[in-house]
Structure 1
Amino acid sequence: MHTAVQERRKFGPLGWNIPYEFNTSDHYATVQFLQNHLDDLDPKRGIQWSTVRYMIGEVQYGGRVTDDYDKHLLNTFAAVWFHEQMFNDSFCFYTGYIIPQFKTTKEVMDAIDTLPLTDTPEVFGLHMNADITYQTNSATAILDTILNIQPKDAGGGSGETRESVVFRQAHEMLVKLPPDYVAHEVRTRLVKMGLLNSLNIFLKQEIARMQKVITLVRITLTDLKLAIEGTIIMSENLRDALDNLFDAKVPSLWRKVSWESSTIGFWFTELVERNAQLSHWIYEGRPTCFWMTGFFNPQGFLTAMRQEVTRMHKGWALDTVTLHNEVLKQFKEDISTSPTEGVYVHGLFLDGAAWDRRNSRLIESQPKVLFVPLPVVHVFAINSTAPKDPSLYVCPVYKKPCRTDLTYITPLWLKTNQKPSHWTMRGVALLCDIK
């Protein structure tokens, strides 16, 4: 288990949301606890497996863990590997990885020598595709480092200068930048749609934030063109924008008020697409299917939907109304009408598993296919705080591939033929954006 928690870190968010500094002291402390537990054992009662699992998953290793889903993964490892059946001859952590039952040191050493030199991701509960993720992350980190240490000053070559490249780029982006929202037009439309409707209040907040981003981008690009021409002084923020745009990255000032993205091309495309959804909603009416990635505050969107459903039912209270979902068989193009309750959501991708569209359930990933688009999901609210069906896999939804509390949105419940613990160890999650 110590090996598994250590080795999973190299697979990035697929292994652990946060790469914890597990070390040998955690291992020694756990071994010491097990030694003490076995010394004080009552032979009639046997090993207290619930105590062992709790001490490992919640105290010894779990004491370092701060993320709820990482804690759940740790407890899943403890539940799958620490039980009475582990002493059966048929038990193995993975094919070929058994608990050797030998009496001499030489036999144990010989058994270790028969193990493979390199462990496949499946040994740690992951899919074979996790190796591709690991190699991609390693290559990206190396290329980023090379890019960061490159000299920023222009060389003496005869090619186009950095400034002229960025000037042309800034001009092209200004041409494609969406127009500003006119405050009185937005208010008129909101009044017509219902000013006090929960989702319309949410829309108003989203448009205000989008306008802030559009304004900042327009000012920065206009000033950058003037600074390159020499009309105004090149400030620190404009210098940062110049360097980042030349390296195809998002300027720091823009990133602070918007969202993370790997390149400026993806970021700007997302800006146009996000704005298209909001302007369609405000000027042409509520969409039949929502692109959740396109919101600054997707949690607020789901809360507004819960409020809307609660108001539709007399006697329902927001505190007792919880989210539930159903994955449809159609994709966005096949949806023509809105649901009577709740919302249709599209644009989610499965990471770590694939989707059986015919039977609407999780299945194993295809080799070399890292992300699989999920069909439209009907997210609705039910008046119950009772626990969900334990046979469903609780799948976390994140805005970006970086799985932290800042990008976490909500859980969705997905059907599966296998035990949910299998997908927990696979690190399966839903991502709004895979770039």
Structure 2
Amino acid sequence: MQELTNPAVSWLSDQAWLQSFKRIFDSNHPHREPLPGEWDTELDSFQRLLVLRCLRADCLVQGLQDYVSAQLGQRFIEPQTSDLAVVFKDSSLSTPLIFVLSPGTDPADDLYKFADVMQFSKKMNAISLGQGQGPRAETMMHAAMKRGHWVFFQNCHLVHKDFRLWLTSLPSNKFPVSILQNGSKVTIEPPRGIKANLQKTYLRLTNDFITSSTKVTHLKSLLLSLCLFHGISLERRKFGPLGFNIPYEFTDRDLNICISQLKMFLDEYQDTPFKVLRYTAGEINFGGRVTDDWDRRCLLSVLEVFYRDSTLESKFAPLFNLRRGCLLHCLLLQVPWVNSELGKSAFSYFAPKMWNNLYPTLLFLLDKLRQLSQSTLPQKTSNENMNNINHENVSTKVALVSFFSFRYNKLLEVISQSLGDIVKALNGLVVMSSELELMANSLFNNLVPDMWKAKAYPSLKPLASWVSDLLQRINFLHRWVYNGIPPVFWISGYFFPQAFLTGTLQNDARRSGFSIDTIGFDFEVRQITEKPSTGCYIHGLFLEGARWDKQECQLTDSRRKELYTEMSVIRLIPEPNRKPPPTGVYVCPIYKTLTRAGTLSTTGHSTNYVIAVELPTDQRQGHWIKRGVALICALDY
């Protein structure tokens, strides 16, 4: 393991770094470590947060939680369950009750249960607002006002004394302000953490439901497995693309349907029907929301861990002797699960992102705009220089470099024209249009303007890094045009990497005489020795969620605080009628950007998806699937 060097030699001595601050930097709980010397006694709790911000910004959120707990109390950082009985007391016949929802929440089930407790289950009418439902909702509300019923209007973007109006809506600037001012508002957020998810689920269950099953022991064990699967599916969303490419809004209703089906299938089948349970949960109830094939593979891989024979062992059943007591066994599930399923580097993605949402973004000074507009843009690639390329058996690659040069030239024209226009607008020579004003705001905030994005390649980089990346891409094309076909191709430098891969297959199809539909890629990770006779070498990829072991030539777990690692050169070898190996490899998808999500194309894959490569490994595929391991063409910095 490489020794970390002193990061601030100008004011921090090497001895102080090694003996004091390095201990805090390497700690798993740096926000609770004592500070060295007088700092530990003279600094107050808020000043200690400033030191933590300098050393370990990724743990600042945990430090803030401890600070709030010490100053205001533990209850201010614990998840609060919404008590509708308390909210109901604040309402009246002229004061509606408004649920302000967050993605993944649905208070309908809780409201129906509360209506049953208040003996209003037969006096409550619900309607989901949408196109054409307005007149029906108005009629329903007038009838309820006369009869003293409850009305539940869902998706909103006097009168009898018992009348109540219940509304649900996502945050929207179109919601009438007068209703918000006169209403009793309740914010509904999904529980954070596996512990909170388990607590919410088991507080809704009753002992009668569990004991009414013919296989109580099996129901208890599989119910815990199902609730853990639901909690983990929700938890994976906060880890971004490491969890799922698309953040799906799994709700309590999905879980409730699975619980009902679990009890029904256990009562109907003599043996536990794991295949049926996995299909209904993974393909229908939860899987019905999944639109990405790689996310579906991940979801089924996680579900397979919880729906299998080992979960029926007797050691799981005692957790349910007391319905609420079982929660004590789940207090420490959150962190160990992240370490075992997503890897130790997962918090390196999640924790800094949480802090970045709290910490205000530093803006560029206004003179940066003029400096950027006056900077030298890269020269266009002339199509006349295409003759410098060796045309021997490379007609497809010549067409590709012409295509990519054309796209980059169009982008450079837009950049040059827009920067010239905005300089004229700043000098008062032309009118500052709305498009130029939006562009100026983007440049001021270190963002890529939308008019540039429309002509550019997919990228998440801020403006400064984006310009540097653009220069590297232009230089790559210049070297290709002037020096001939490179021995190694920078796959991240293409507008459309799939076109390059298809061109490689076309070249081999012409050389070998096979149909291109019968040719697939074999993959080999190796050092470059010479230009290959068939296929090509590619580089410029980054591994997320794992790293490449060059000595063992296989995938291995990431190091601590290491989320992205540079991938070695990969050789793509066209091979007719190739069959993939059944074991010993991980089928690793390649994405253009870190978001991974994109528009669903006609191929069934996201437009962000490039190709899947086979990387050698000594682990089962599920090990890497649950870690969300993928190759990325370009990072976000």
2:257 to 25, 29, 40: 29
- Contact 2:388-2:483 at 8 Å conserved across structures: no
* Paired residues for 1:1-400 under 5 Å: 1-41=229-269, 43=270, 46-88=271-313, 99-102=316-319, 104-105=321-322, 108-116=323-331, 119-120=334-335, 122-123=337-338, 125-143=341-359, 146-147=360-361, 162=366, 164-172=367-375, 175=376, 177-183=377-383, 185-189=384-388, 193=391, 197-259=395-457, 260-314=459-513, 316-328=514-526, 330=527, 335=528, 337-400=530-593
RMSD between aligned alpha carbons? 2.2
Q: How far off is 1:196 after superposition?
A: 7.2
Q: How far off is 1:116 after superposition?
A: 2.6
Name the residue aligned to 2:101.
none
Q: TM-score, normalised by structure 2?
A: 0.59
User: Structure 1 residues 219, 324: CA separation in 2 closer, same or farther (over 3 Å shift)?
Assistant: same
User: Structure 1 residues 386, 337: CA separation in 2 closer, same or farther (over 3 Å shift)?
Assistant: closer
User: Structure 1 residues 117, 86: CA separation in 2 closer, same or farther (over 3 Å shift)?
Assistant: closer
User: Structure 1 residues 53, 8: CA separation in 2 closer, same or farther (over 3 Å shift)?
Assistant: same
Q: How far off is 1:195 after superposition?
A: 9.3
List runs of 5+ in structure 2 lacking aligned partners. 1-228, 598-605
Q: TM-score, normalised by structure 1?
A: 0.86
Q: How far off is 1:213 after superposition?
A: 0.7
Name the residue aligned to 2:129.
none
Task: Tell me the SS of whatever aligns to 2:354.
Answer: helix
User: Structure 1 residues 161, 84: CA separation in 2 closer, same or farther (over 3 Å shift)?
Assistant: closer
Name the residue aligned to 2:133.
none
Task: Tell me the SS of whatever aligns to 2:559.
Answer: coil
Matches of 2:327 and 2:240, distance apart in 1: 28
User: Structure 1 residues 374, 165: CA separation in 2 closer, same or farther (over 3 Å shift)?
Assistant: closer
- Contact 1:356-1:362 at 8 Å conserved across structures: yes
In the alignment of these two chains, the number of paired residues is: 398
- Contact 2:547-2:556 at 8 Å conserved across structures: yes
Matches of 1:367 and 1:288, distance apart in 2: 34
Matches of 1:360 and 1:2, distance apart in 2: 36
Matches of 2:535 and 2:303, distance apart in 1: 37
Identity over aligned pairs, percent: 30
- Contact 1:121-1:127 at 8 Å conserved across structures: no
- Contact 2:446-2:463 at 8 Å conserved across structures: yes
Report the structure number with the largest CA radius of gyration: 2
- Contact 1:288-1:336 at 8 Å conserved across structures: no
Q: How far off is 1:69 after superposition?
A: 0.5
- Contact 1:189-1:283 at 8 Å conserved across structures: yes
Kindly provide the amino acid, as one letter, of the partner of residue 109 in structure 1: R
Task: Tell me the SS of whatever aligns to 2:579.
Answer: coil
Q: Which has the higher contact order (CA 8 A, sep 6+)?
A: 1
List runs of 5+ in structure 1 lacking aligned partners. 91-98, 151-159
Q: How far off is 1:301 after superposition?
A: 0.6
Kindly provide the amino acid, as one letter, of the partner of residue 362 in structure 1: L
- Contact 1:57-1:78 at 8 Å conserved across structures: yes
Q: How far off is 1:416 after superposition?
A: 1.0
